[in-house]
Structures are given as C-alpha cells and as structure tokens.
Amino acid sequence: MQGMKKTIPTALRWLRDSALPLVAGVLMGLVACVPGISLAASPTSGASAAPTQESPVKIRLHVDGQVATATLHDNATARGFAALLPLSLTLTDFARIERIADLPRKLPLDRAETTVPVKEGDLAYYAPWGNLAIFVEDGTGNYTGDLMRLGAVDMGLPALQRPGPLQVRIERMTD
C-alpha cells in the first residue's frame, strides 16, 4: 500500500507537468487550423494588428494582344477559380453588358459573395451555367443569388469591352 500512495501523487504530477500541457498544445494547434478563429490577443487601442490573410490574388488577362489586370476577392469561389489558372477561354457577348465563357469545371460556392447589382468591371461566376462572367457595363437586371462575386478588373477594361468573340488567356500575376 505504501508504494501505491507514492504512485498516485507521481502520476498526478506527471499528468499536471507533462500530459496536460501536451494536450493543450495539440488542441491549440487544431484550433489554429480552423478558419475564422484567432488565438491572438486583440490589439490595444492605438495599436494596429498585422494582416492575417494572404495578399490578394492578382490576375492578368491577355485579350487579343492587349492586357487587362484584375484582383480576386478572398472567398471560396474565387479561390476555386484561381486554382484553374492558367486558363484559355473564348469570351462571347451576353446581354450586351457581359462577356461570358464556360469554365472547365464547377466552382465551390460562397453565397456570402452574391453579386447584385453588378458593376462595370465585376468578375463573377454564374453557378447554374458554370461560367465566368465579366461585366463590361453596369447592370440593373434581376440577378438571382446564383451569381458569385470573384473580383474586379483593375485596369484594361476597354480590351474586354470590344465585341466578341474574344480569345483570352488568364493567368496569375507573379511580379
């Protein structure tokens, strides 16, 4: 019995000193992998927090010898689109305000980035058809929640405003 009395306190010390910190470390590591959860302390007033998300994805669109650039939003649909790049497409006119092209596969949907109304330069994904839509004019149409926001054209929109069909090569910008 005397040996048992020593074993229990030793086991409790081991649990306190080794096992609990190990379990806490593993749990903190798992929580850190969950999107939207931060273990960092909130900044004090006047202090600015360092950005936690990656830099925005910039893309280049080569359109019949001209170049346009765009910035993708940080959402699941835009990340799915970026994963397809580089991509060669034929853009066709649709409803005078859009240039559209079928994508090789469906993209994940992010309903938080639904686009209504559309603005000139918007890049979007129309889920029912599985296509890319580049808006070359503002739109006042009745778009449903099936149009997901991908990003916006930063410069070179006139290259996309010409009548189609337009051959376009879309790639990530690396510089």
Tens digit of each residue's pLDDT (9 = 90 or more) over 43-79 = 444 444 443 456 789 999 999 999 999 999 999 999 9
User: Residue 169, exposed/middle/buried by CB under 10 A (0-12, 13-18, 19+)?
Assistant: middle
137 three-state secondary structure: coil
Mean pLDDT, range 12-19, rounded to an integer: 54
> Apex CA 87: angle with CA 148 and CA 141, to 5°?
30
More confident position, 112 or 20: 112
- Would you place residue 11 in the very low, low, confident or very high pLDDT band (cuts 50, 70, 90)? low
Q: Is the pLDDT at 20 greater than 60, yes or no?
A: no
What pLDDT sits at residue 3? 52
Q: 76 near 127, Cβ under 8 Å?
A: no
Model confidence pLDDT, tens digit, residues 84-113: 999 999 999 998 999 999 999 999 997 766
DSSP at 104: S
Per-domain residue ranges of the chain: 1-44, 58-172
Model confidence pLDDT, tens digit, residues 123-169: 999 999 999 999 999 877 666 678 898 999 999 999 999 987 999 99
- Least confident residue range of 11-25, 35-49, 112-126: 35-49
Q: Is the pLDDT at 119 greater than 50, yes or no?
A: yes
What pLDDT sits at residue 112? 65
Q: 159 near 68, Cβ under 8 Å?
A: yes
- The CATH class of the 58-172 domain is mainly beta
22 three-state secondary structure: helix
